[in-house]
């Protein structure tokens, strides 16, 4: 979340940046935050003054008793008692104001960076470039939702029977291809110096608030009510929360982690080809990279993460494009985000497979994730994350783009992981 001191010192910049997110009455929202902070500060000062007065008066009591001034001592005791009652009352007011302020800040998103374009939705994202050759498919080529039935590698009907819509079964070579992609992504990340982590797939409420899924995405998360736990929407949540409430040493930064998990999202989406088959699921697999850096290193880290995601798409032989997200399409945490989309030849459309975001110190402030700088001063770290990669649409593009009359050709880099080079 944003720091109040930053908002106060950069009010116009904050308002101008948040206008890119199309937030109604943003000026009034920011003013209400600052007014609440003023009230909190005033309450804190009054409480501290009352506490100091109570301490001073309490010290006087002993002297008065020794001097035989019993009545004055009793009066001092009564005054001290009143002051302590006032301190308690002001402390409760302060706690209420502090929580109210925190709740307001939880709902204010990160300020987009200056290069982020204005826009209301993904239709306003800016394509920076595209690379790779779009395959020309033979006549009669099919979308992946027909291919998976043809080759019996993914079963949506069985998933619907056992669980519900959006929870498919992967079978035979479909399951092996899925596993091969996971292993390929993990091996590549480890080669690049990321620490492999296998995290829990359920988290507590504090973790949800720490990385910003709560309260922003509460309705999209699966909630285990009896235990007050949440199924994770991405490995970013448990991995980043490894560092919650930590003060790291600057020499230990960056912290670069990679993890594979299933991901769970309740989003229903719309009807149509954009959500058919593997295009949108309630449970899917994803390999996630997370980076914790010093502030001066985060932009370089962001570029390196984007380059790494591109290298995976190149090795898989998938045509792709990179998009700069507009203000209206940024997540609550992101100050800057690039999306990578692969081209699905059979569907003749682009499919998002990765978002690589720099959160700057916004998420770290929620997490209380800090480090000691060269002057031994405590500073907020910067956090970044990216999909490397999300499997369903990668799998869809591989099936569609590599279909031949003889079957589906497996990308060469995956053959050592699958043990076969064709699905037929």
**Distance from CA of residue 235 to its chain's centroid?**
9
Q: How far apart are CA 150 and CA 152, in angstroms?
A: 6
Q: What is the DSSP string of 114-178?
A: TTSPP-SSGGG-EEEEEESPPP-PPTT---HHHHHHHTT-EEHHHHHHHT-TT-PEE-HHHHHHH
Contact in structure between 357 and 384 (CB atoms under 8 Å): yes
Q: How far apart are CA 12 and CA 27, in angstroms?
A: 9
81 is in an annotated binding site: no
299 is in an annotated binding site: no
Q: How far apart are CA 9 and CA 317, in angstroms?
A: 48
Looking at 192-214, list the stretches that DSSP marks H as alpha helix, in order from N- to C-terminal side: 205-211
87 is in an annotated binding site: no
Q: How far apart are CA 92 and CA 86, in angstroms?
A: 10
Contact in structure between 99 and 6 (CB atoms under 8 Å): no
Task: Round the CA-based radius of gyration of the chain to a whole number and report it.
Answer: 27
What sign does the CA torsion over 157, 159, 165, 167 have? negative
Contact in structure between 338 and 324 (CB atoms under 8 Å): yes
What sign does the CA torsion over 68, 69, 71, 74 have? negative
Cβ burial of 141 (10 Å; 0-12, 13-18, 19+) is middle
354 is in an annotated binding site: yes
400 CB contacts (<8 Å, ≥6 apart)? 137, 141, 142, 143, 144, 147, 344, 345, 346, 347
5 is in an annotated binding site: no
352 is in an annotated binding site: yes
25 CB contacts (<8 Å, ≥6 apart)? none
Of 87, 90, 80, the residue nearest 54 (C-alpha): 80
Q: How far apart are CA 309 and CA 317, in angstroms?
A: 13
424 is in an annotated binding site: no
267 is in an annotated binding site: yes
121 is in an annotated binding site: no
265 is in an annotated binding site: yes
Annotation: binding site for ATP:
265-267, 352-355
Annotation: binding site:
234, 265-267, 288, 352-355, 385
Annotation: binding site for L-serine:
234, 265, 288, 385
């Amino acid at each position: 979340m944003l720091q109040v001191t930053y908002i106060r010192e950069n009010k116009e910049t904050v308002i101008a940046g948040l206008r890119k997110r199309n937030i109604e009455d943003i000026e009034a929202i920011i003013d209400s935050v600052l007014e609440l902070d003023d009230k909190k500060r005033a309450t804190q000062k009054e409480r501290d003054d009352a506490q100091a007065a109570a301490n001073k008066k309490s010290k006087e009591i002993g002297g008065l008793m020794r001097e035989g001034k019993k009545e004055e001592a009793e009066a001092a005791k009564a005054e001290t008692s009143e002051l302590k009652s006032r301190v308690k009352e002001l402390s409760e007011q302060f706690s209420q104001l502090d929580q109210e302020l925190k709740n307001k800040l939880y709902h204010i998103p990160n300020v987009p960076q200056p290069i982020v374009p204005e826009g209301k939705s993904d239709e306003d994202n800016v394509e920076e470039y595209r690379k790779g050759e779009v395959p020309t498919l033979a006549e009669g080529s099919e979308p992946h939702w027909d291919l998976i039935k043809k080759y019996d590698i993914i079963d949506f009907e069985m998933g619907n029977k056992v669980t519900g819509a959006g929870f498919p079964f992967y079978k035979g070579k479909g399951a092996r291809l899925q596993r091969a992609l996971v292993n390929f992504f993990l091996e590549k990340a480890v080669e690049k110096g990321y620490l492999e982590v296998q995290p829990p797939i359920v988290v507590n409420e504090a973790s949800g608030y720490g990385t910003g899924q709560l309260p922003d995405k509460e309705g999209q998360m699966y909630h285990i009510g009896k235990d007050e736990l949440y199924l994770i929407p991405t490995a970013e949540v448990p991995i980043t929360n490894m560092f919650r409430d930590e003060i790291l040493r600057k020499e230990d930064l960056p912290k670069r982690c990679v993890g594979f998990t299933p991901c769970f999202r309740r989003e229903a989406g719309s009807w149509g080809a954009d959500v058919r088959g593997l295009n949108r699921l309630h449970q899917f697999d994803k390999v996630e990279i997370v980076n914790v850096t010093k502030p001066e290193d985060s932009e370089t880290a962001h570029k390196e993460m984007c380059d790494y995601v591109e290298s995976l798409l190149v090795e898989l032989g998938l045509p792709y494009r990179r998009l700069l997200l507009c203000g209206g399409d940024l997540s609550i945490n992101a100050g800057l985000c690039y999306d990578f989309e692969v081209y699905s030849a059979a569907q003749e459309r682009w499919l998002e497979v990765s978002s690589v975001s720099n959160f700057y110190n916004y998420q770290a402030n929620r997490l209380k994730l800090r480090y000691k700088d060269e002057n031994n001063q405590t500073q907020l770290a910067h956090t970044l994350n990216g999909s490397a990669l999300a499997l369903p649409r990668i799998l869809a593009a591989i099936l569609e783009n590599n279909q031949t009359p003889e079957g589906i050709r497996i990308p060469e880099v995956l053959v050592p992981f699958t043990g076969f080079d064709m699905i037929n």
